Chain A
């Protein structure tokens, strides 16, 4: 029996209140014995889920362990993380995924859900024992060779088909390897100027286009990891419109940063897939909101959000996507001696 009172917390951005938690669930009765936590200025959200983490254990405990990754996740408000399979040894057997799952239980901070490799050793040659991982204690349902693309079309088809038996999903790292040999950054004006080998957008888009067709053909579920280009967004939009069972994710850095940062040659800006151009970033932002709206439309009539005054780029984006201003909270924020208004926006949805 454990109980907490979060004092003065803002639930989903609403006015501050006291939130009582009992045995991990929200409770409406207060409790004198509850431990009081001062949550003034903090926001309470449902537990976040990270579909794409690298916990590095086993094999690279110097970089990260299941425990340190769990700590970071919990600190950031995450209650579940999916751990990618590119460990050493690779998480391509029931033994390794069970080890990761058990380490997550031992750390005891968040749900650690292992992702299994699609192919043995991430080598892209031969299917890993997907069924054994699915029926193991780790109960794996997402399979990915993340970091490597399942480039062989026949193998990808088989993987998509095979996991239907236990309602699995193949999460693809979309990168046609022959088009990205030696690649260092996005192929474009900046890579030409910097003399760095380019990672063309088409290397991602071609694989996504192929994979949505394969998923459609065999009637399976596809997830696309870290989508980074406007062209990929377009391919996914068309596939979803046709009813293909495909989902996708985007990283914070692909929503915020662009390829011109590579001009410093600082390797902190070298990621895979690479940072893209401003028009790609714009397309990804729109696609993310579009997906949220589509999801919300199943059950919600109005979507509300708050933009800080002065954030013109965000204000314009939301306006373009059908959000209207319905009010302002003047001087909602004071930062560095300056006051900022909160702009309250709403978009009415058609349920169904």
Chain B
């Protein structure tokens, strides 16, 4: 088993599948009256959150507690970070306290990579800047697999602000590794340069001409929808408007928002996903978000199972 989960690229197909299978067992537990497993008793998990977060922080906390780990929650506010302590010095403090795993959310891309070089415990990336959010990709893959029965050959559109999205990067890497084909959709200003080559899965070979598994790019949502099994809408921050990524919120919704008329273009079985938090009325209309095709609430529930599986396997549990 890998030691750290810094990027979805840390996962090969076998490891990712093991995590998803383990998550399914963890989910079965949620139906029981006693939801706790004694597996991580006596182990310490630190939640190191430098950025505001609702669902990810609570989800990791619930996951660690259901595995009976001791959980220390650390948020930048009210800690020595507000006195100017560096990430490295905070890491050394955690190291001295003997953290078995550190779950980190940070506004700077790469913070988990740096942290992993300073502490002995496992480092789990809970979202770093505009880089990655691998456990979100795992819970998304889990949700797709449980709704549609498979991942191999699945056609997935990821729509919106790919440039600033850590969710998109992790999803492209993980879904490609697991055999799904991903199409990134958005205005050209929000699709990063060389995205297909950049996010090609590490195996079997890198470089050369684009493979079947490389992500495709489209600027036209309407033409993409009829072929999709999954459409994942990304949050678009209205601040991007001031930066001229697009002219107005209204034009954005008109061209790239998912409303009922667009949802009808999807095949009958297709599902609609969103990592949250949503801008209702911007990238997704309330009717779509609350429809039976939407898995948005399910994704949150699956988040706890996926994170339990990650903690369990990284901290040496046997599947």
B197, A195: Cβ atoms closer than 8 Å: no
User: Chain B, 96-123, contact with A by CB distance < 8 Å: what is the 0/1 string?
Assistant: 0000000000000110011000000000
Selected interface stretch from A186-194, A323-331, A341-349: A186-194
B193, A194: Cβ atoms closer than 8 Å: no
Q: State A168–B195 Cα separation when bound (angstroms).
A: 45
With A189-B198, A265-B114 as given contacts, are A196 and B193 in contact (CB-CB < 8 Å)? no
For A197, the closest partner residue in chain B by CB is: B130
Q: State A198–B192 Cα separation when bound (angstroms).
A: 9
User: Chain B, 125-168, contact with A by CB distance < 8 Å: what is the 0/1 string?
Assistant: 00011111000000000000000000000000000000000100
A195, B130: Cβ atoms closer than 8 Å: yes
B274 CB–A CB distance under 8 Å: no
- Please, which residues of chain A bring their CB within 8 A of the CB of B113? 264-265
User: Chain B, 195-216, contact with A by CB distance < 8 Å: what is the 0/1 string?
Assistant: 1011100000000000000000
**Interface positions of A from 223 to 269, Cβ below 8 Å from B:** 264-266
For B170, the closest partner residue in chain A by CB is: A195
Point out the residue from B110, B114, B195 that lies within 8 Å of A194, measured CB to CB.
B110
- Please, which residues of chain A bring their CB within 8 A of the CB of B128? 195
Q: State A192–B128 Cα separation when bound (angstroms).
A: 14
Extra inter-chain contacts (10) besides given A191-B193, A196-B110, CB under 8 Å: A189-B198, A193-B199, A195-B166, A196-B109, A196-B130, A196-B131, A197-B130, A265-B109, A265-B114, A266-B114
Q: State A104–B148 Cα separation when bound (angstroms).
A: 73
Q: Which of B128, B192, B195: most chain A CB closer than 10 A?
A: B192
- Please, which residues of chain A bring their CB within 8 A of the CB of B114? 265-266
Q: State A190–B192 Cα separation when bound (angstroms).
A: 11
Q: State A195–B109 Cα separation when bound (angstroms).
A: 6
**Interface positions of A from 154 to 204, Cβ below 8 Å from B:** 184, 187-198
Count of chain A residues with a beta carbon within 8 Å of a chain B beta carbon: 16
B133 to chain A, nearest CB (A): 10
B109, A192: Cβ atoms closer than 8 Å: no
Q: State A89–B97 Cα separation when bound (angstroms).
A: 44
A189, B193: Cβ atoms closer than 8 Å: yes
User: Shortest 5 CB-CB distances between A and B: which pairs?
Assistant: A195-B131, A265-B110, A192-B198, A189-B194, A195-B109
User: Chain A, 204-215, contact with B by CB distance < 8 Å: what is the 0/1 string?
Assistant: 000000000000
For chain B, which range describes its interface: under 10, 10 to 19, 20 to 34, or 35 or more residues? 10 to 19
Q: State A193–B176 Cα separation when bound (angstroms).
A: 14
Which residue numbers of B lie inside 8 Å of A, CB to CB? 109-110, 113-114, 128-132, 166, 169, 192-195, 197-199
- Please, which residues of chain B bring their CB within 8 A of the CB of A189? 193-194, 197-198
With A264-B113, A265-B110, A265-B114 as given contacts, are A195 and B194 in contact (CB-CB < 8 Å)? no
What are 17 A-B pairs at a CB distance below 8 A? A189-B194, A190-B198, A192-B195, A192-B198, A193-B199, A194-B110, A194-B131, A195-B109, A195-B132, A195-B169, A196-B109, A196-B129, A197-B130, A264-B113, A265-B109, A265-B113, A266-B114
Q: State A264–B116 Cα separation when bound (angstroms).
A: 11
For B243, the closest partner residue in chain A by CB is: A181
Q: State A90–B22 Cα separation when bound (angstroms).
A: 61
Which residue numbers of A lie inside 8 Å of B, CB to CB? 184, 187-198, 264-266
- Please, which residues of chain A bring their CB within 8 A of the CB of B192? 191-192, 198
For A262, the closest partner residue in chain B by CB is: B110
A258 to chain B, nearest CB (A): 15
B109, A194: Cβ atoms closer than 8 Å: yes
- Please, which residues of chain B bring their CB within 8 A of the CB of A184? 109
Q: State A288–B199 Cα separation when bound (angstroms).
A: 34
A188, B132: Cβ atoms closer than 8 Å: no
A192, B199: Cβ atoms closer than 8 Å: yes
B194, A188: Cβ atoms closer than 8 Å: yes
A191 to chain B, nearest CB (A): 8
Q: State A293–B169 Cα separation when bound (angstroms).
A: 46
- Please, which residues of chain A bring their CB within 8 A of the CB of B132? 195
B8 to chain A, nearest CB (A): 11
Q: Which of A187, A191, A193: most chain B CB closer than 10 A?
A: A193
- Please, which residues of chain B bring their CB within 8 A of the CB of A192? 192-195, 198-199
B192 to chain A, nearest CB (A): 4
Q: State A198–B198 Cα separation when bound (angstroms).
A: 13
For A200, the closest partner residue in chain B by CB is: B193
A72 to chain B, nearest CB (A): 27
- Please, which residues of chain A bring their CB within 8 A of the CB of B110? 194-196, 265
B245 to chain A, nearest CB (A): 13
Q: Which of A187, A195, A196, A198: most chain B CB closer than 10 A?
A: A195
With A264-B113, A265-B110, A265-B114 as given contacts, are A195 and B195 in contact (CB-CB < 8 Å)? no
A193, B193: Cβ atoms closer than 8 Å: no
Q: State A24–B156 Cα separation when bound (angstroms).
A: 74
Point out the residue from B131, B193, B199 that lies within 8 Å of A187, measured CB to CB.
B193
A47 to chain B, nearest CB (A): 41
